Each structure stands twice: as structure tokens, then as C-alpha cells.
Amino acid sequence: MIDQFPALQIMVPLVAAPICVMIRNPRWSWVCAMVASTLAFLISIILLQQVMANGVIRYAVGGWAAPSGIEYYIDAMNAAVLVLVSGISAVVLVYAYRSVAKSVPAEKHYLFYTAWLMCVCGLLGIVITGDAFNVFVFLEISSLSMYTLISFGQDRRALTASFRYLVLGSVGASFILIGIGFLYAATGTLNMTDLAARIPDSESQRAVLVAFSFLTMGVLIKSAVFPLHAWLPNAYTFAPVAVTAFLAGTATKVSLYVLLRFFFSVFGKDYSFGQHLLNGVLLPAAVAGFVLMSLVAIFQNDLRRMLAYSSVAQVGYIVAGFSLATQSGLTAGIVHVVNHGMVKASLFMAVGCILYRVGHVHTPSLDNLMKRMPFTCVAFIISGMGLIGVPLTVGFVSKFTLIEASLEKGWWAIAALVLLSSLMAIVYVGRVIEIMVFRRSRETGPESSGMCEAPLSMLVPLYVLVGVSLYFGINGSATLEVAGRAASFLLGGLQ
């Protein structure tokens, strides 16, 4: 049974999705999605434990051996991402029940949960598979269901946002497909391990290079690296907030995982960062991203939009960490993938709570919110500190590692800019906190001073996530160890 877990990881949400469609009842379809998601989470934890204990797991789907058949390949790196994706999915699903009930018409709920499950399935598939073409397939599954999820948003602008994402996402996906095609042409294989082995000996290096370029661009679009981020702010702003929380925690992170997988495992570190001037594109883009997007975030008045731009900035940190191409840089990047996933998900969940009660998230109008929604605000403040990188939060662990890594490589300017953008994070998070906590309400009517906290079913998952992120903030070595193991796997190439 336990040998089949890699397959079950995908099959459980994949099978649960049509069941949801068949159930049609909002409540039961939620239960179905919940059960599937929880199962996937448990499976991913077990897989992580196995990987940490026994090393890499290889699973041949359908019994077809690697080069010809599809292979699932699990090392510390993707096991951690699996846990992240399925975990956030499970937690946010709990939260989604009330949130979705308010924002999505009841007759569409089963479709929502179906799309959710498909999305989870796609994301998990991208992560778990060891086959290049399979990555594209799962990417399409997740992307299509994501467009659907985003279009569930209340606002009509959600449709435009979804459409733009669709166009750009399709472009990205086709770039990836083109890249994989070139790779296949150059090497005659789609299995990542085989690719890694054959690329150096390939006779058509030019084809490999073109493949590399297309793959890079495609993945960068999907992971919303500045300046290819333009689809993200609107999508995050207008999607149902539960979807935003889920996507912010998982979607871009999975794309980043793909980036890592191709750069380090398939092409190899030396190829990606060696003579090919990726440094000239990726690092400047990342640095410009975290500086400019933090600046933009300062001036946003919509809380969701501010957090969306902050997400783009955080992606910048992660990519900057990857660009260092050292053990500590990779560790920093991977740790930030996990940490930022948790922090941003919890922040969006807190925003969802506010939206649920207040009906809007226009920052200047949130004055004196602390009186009315103390628990939500406290959760927001704790997570916000994580975003800034206050010591004893996860943000501190990853930013500290990132600065350490850039200093280790002697890139002082990067370290300075990271600190600078952290200062900006203080400004944009601090501004919200200042308004929430210290600014006196302009209309001090009795109705506005009463307490109206979000429902427990939203608060509990929120606090679970906050608690987990606090735990990893205080016990930073836990995540750092996994990330460090993953980084050394990546730098060592596929076994």
C-alpha cells in the first residue's frame, strides 16, 4: 500500500473531482473536497517522512519503467512542496466553506470545489512527476482550473483578470511546451533523469539552448517574476479571497519549483548559470522586482492589491536566492518558498475575514478595526511581521539566510537592497497596522464600535496557519534543514 502513495497523491484529488460534480450538493461537495484534500495532505506528510528517512523515491506509473513510461520522482525538495501545497489546500478549504458561501452563488459551489480539486491535483502533479512532458500536462490542468477559480470572483472584473491570466498563462504554457519539444528533439527523451544525463552529450546544443530559453520564459511568466507579473495583481485582487489565499500560497511557488527543477536538476547548475547569461536576466529582474514592487505596495489602498504586489516582491527574493546558485542561496530561496507560502496565505485569509465582515478592504477605511475584529487583526499583525521579517517570525529566518548567502558570495549590494526593501515592507505593513490599531474611527457610531469577529470556521484555519508559521519562525532550523537537504539534492543533480 505504502509503495503506491506517490500515485495516490495524485489520484485522490483527481478521483474526488468528478465525485464532487456528481454530488452537486454544496455542503457535501465541500465535504468531499475536504476529505480528498486532507488525505492528500496526510499522504504528502508520509512521503516527506519517507524521503527524509530513505532518500529519493522513484515510482513508475502503471509499472512502465522509466525511459519509456512516466516516472514519479520524489526527493526532499518536492516532498516539501507537496506538503506545502496539500497542507495549504486543506487548511484553506476549511476556511473556504464560509467564505465561499458568502461570495459564490450556492448552485455553483460544487463546480468551485471541483475546480479546486483539479487545481490541487494539477499542482501536486507538477511537483511529483519526473517526466518533462507530464509537467506540461499537469500545468495545463492546474492552470485551466485556476482560471475557472478566479472567474468565480464576485466582481465582474474577475472575468477580465481571469481572461488576462488565461492569455498570458497559455503563452507561458506553450513556451514550456516548445521548450520541452526542443529538448525532446535534441535528446530523444522526456524523463528528467535521462535528460540530465543526455543534455551535455547532445549533438544539437543550439536546440538545447533554445529549449532552455523557452522553458525559462514560460516558467518566469507562470511564477510572476517581475516584469512578467502583470497578470497577478488583478487576479489576486478579484478572485474569491479563499482562492487568492490558496494561489498565493501555492501556484507561484509550484512554478518556482519547476524553475528549480529544470535549472538545477535537468540542465544543471553549471549550464544554467555558467556561460549562459541567465545572471544578466534573472538576477536584475529579481532585484528590480523586490525593490519596485515593494515601492508599489506602499502606495496601494486596496489591501488585497497591496499584498499581491508584495507577493511579486517576495518572488523576487526567492529568485534572487536561486540566482546566487550556491548552497546557502538555494537554501534561502527554498525556505522562502515555504515560509512566504504560509505567511501570504494567512495574510490573505485574514483579509478574507475582514472582507467577510466589513465588506471591503479599502485600507484607509479600516480605522479602528482592532476594536471590532481583534483576533483577525492580531493574526494579520503577526503574519505582517512575518512578511517584514521581524525576528522570531519565518520572514526573519528566510531573509536572514538570504542576506547571509549574498554576503557569503560577496554581493553586498544585493544584501543592502534586501534590507532596503524590508524597510519598505515595514512601511506598507506598518501603515495598515497603524490604521487598524491606532487611528481613531471617524464615525464613532455605536454599530461600528461593537465587536463583530469573523466566524470560527474561518478564524481557526487562519490561526492554525499563523501558529504553524510562528512555530517555524521560532524553530527555524526545522525548515532550514529540509531546505538545505533539498538544496544539496538540487546542486548534486538527479541520482
Nearer to other proteins, 95 or 175 (CB): 175
Contacting range for other proteins; rule: CB under 8 A; set: 7-15, 184-192, 300-308, 474-482: 300-308
Residue 288 contacts other proteins per CB under 8 A: no
Region near other proteins per CB under 8 A, out of 277-285, 316-324, 429-437, 452-460 = 277-285
- 298 is a site residue for other proteins (CB under 8 A): yes
| Binding of residue 292 to other proteins (CB under 8 A) | yes
Give dist(CA 156, CA 143) in Å, integer.
20
What's the gap between Cα 85 and its chain centre?
8
Among positions 171, 185, 427, 464, the unique one binding other proteins when judged by CB under 8 A = 171
Interaction of residue 413 with other proteins, rule CB under 8 A: no
Q: Does 280 bind other proteins (CB under 8 A)?
A: yes
Q: Which of 198, 269, 276, 371 binds other proteins (CB under 8 A)?
A: 276
Nearest distance in Å: CB 320, other proteins: 17
Of the residues 253, 261, 304, 305, which one makes contact with other proteins according to CB under 8 A? 305
Instruction: Tell the smallest beta-carbon distance from residue 360 to other proteins (Å).
Output: 15
Q: Which of 299, 412, 438, 471 binds other proteins (CB under 8 A)?
A: 299
String marking each residue 193-222 x if it binds other proteins according to CB under 8 A: -------------x--xx-xxx-xx--xx-
Decide if 245 contacts 345 (C-beta within 8 A).
yes
Contacts of 36 (CB under 8 A, 6+ apart): 12, 13, 15, 16, 117, 120
Query: Of 218 and 461, which has the nearer Cβ to other proteins?
Result: 218
With CB under 8 A as the contact rule, the residue among 38, 255, 300, 406 that binds other proteins is 300
Residue 291 touches other proteins, criterion: CB under 8 A = no
CA–centroid distance for 180 within its chain? 23
Least distance in Å: CB of 433 to other proteins? Answer: 20
Q: Is 234 in the site for other proteins (CB under 8 A)?
A: yes
| Residues across the chain | 495
Contact flag: residue 426 with other proteins (CB under 8 A) = no
Per CB under 8 A, 159 contacts other proteins:
no
**Minimum CB separation from other proteins for residue 146, in Å?**
17
Beta carbon nearer to other proteins, 365 or 475: 365
What is the smallest separation between the CB atom of 168 and other proteins, expressed in angstroms? Answer: 5
Applying CB under 8 A, the site for other proteins has a residue count of 39
Q: Helices 132-151 and 241-260 meet at what angle, rounded to 10?
A: 160
Report the distance separating Cα 487 and Cα 76, nearest Å.
9
Instruction: Name the minimum Å distance from CB 213 to other proteins.
Output: 5
Q: Which is nearer to other proteins, 159 or 437 (CB)?
A: 159
We find the least distance from the C-beta atom of residue 443 to other proteins, in angstroms, to be 24
User: Which of 318, 335, 292 is CA-nearest to residue 484?
Assistant: 335
**At its nearest, how many Å lie between other proteins and the CB of residue 305?**
7
Residues that bind other proteins (CB under 8 A): 160-161, 163-164, 167-168, 171, 175, 206, 209-210, 212-214, 216-217, 220-221, 227-228, 230-231, 233-234, 276-278, 280-281, 292, 295-296, 298-302, 305, 309
